[in-house]
Amino acid sequence: MQRTGTLQGETVSNCSRSLRLAMGLALGLVFTANAAFAGTANFVVDDPKKRDTVSFTSDAPVELIVGNTNKITGSISMDDSLDFSKQPFSAVFDVDLASIDTGIALRNEHMRDNFLETKKFPKATFRVKSVSAATTQLKPGKKVTVQAVGDFTVHGKTVSKTVPVDVTYFEPCKQEGVKFPDCAMLQIRAELPVAFKDHDIKRPEIVFQKLADTVFVKISATARAVKEEAKGDKKADKKADKNADKNAKKNK
């Protein structure tokens, strides 16, 4: 009887282990399937027609100065559900400071050479780390205001910044006369204050009384959707290139 009880215990134990193994394999297959079907939506800011704009306004007692540039580039990568709260998420934007135009050539020269020192520090960069909002998922045609938290770098000095950003998603379409051929894009609007002391920027004497301590920067840009090549397609392309090289060598 004791031997029989032992065998029964071993049988139950083996069944239990088999059940746990089966459940583990099933969960593994579920996670693998989810990973296989999970997608990423990618967008880029790189309008060849230069319709994106970045402007700054300095409202000093002596003079109102406005500077503009359309040289802004950027990229956004997010879960294909278009929900900012989900991973993966990354975003970065660069502005060419040397291209800023204030409307007066001599003032532009002073601003670039003596103020922003664009030869040393040619770009302003905002690298977004996280995004929060009451509603984080984008819907076609609906504006969502989010709080973008990240690292803002100007003049070689990086500070943490929280920037309110209005984002509107436009879904793919076949309509003519839109900004990009397939319509799929994100419209981005933002405004942020930039204090010179935060970035160790000293105002030259020539513009000291004409330039405010803090300028207000406005950004208006559109990020167009881009398709990401599948890994299998990339491997196939590489294999095709290798075969083409081999055939070319044989034919020589």
Q: List, for residues 137-190, the tens digit of each pLDDT value.
A: 999 999 999 999 999 999 999 999 999 999 999 998 877 777 887 889 999 999
pLDDT tens digits, 36-70? 345 999 999 999 999 999 999 999 888 899 999 99
Q: What is the mean pLDDT of residues 23-39?
A: 43
Helix (H, G, I), strand (E, B) or coil at 177: coil
CA distance 17 to 71: 62
CA distance 34 to 115: 52
Mean pLDDT taken over the chain: 81
pLDDT at 27: 39
Q: Is the pTM of this model over 0.85?
A: no
CA distance 76 to 96: 18
CA distance 54 to 192: 11
Query: pLDDT at residue 11 above 90?
Result: no
Domains and CATH numbers, the chain: 39-232 (2.40.128.110)
Tokens 């840009």 belong to residue: 221
pLDDT tens digits, 60-114? 888 899 999 999 999 999 999 999 989 889 999 999 999 999 999 998 998 898 8
DSSP string for 115-144? IS-TTT--EEEEEEEEEE-S--B--BT-EE
CA distance 56 to 4: 86
Q: Which residue, among 38, 134, 36, has the nearest Cα to 79 in the 3D structure?
A: 38
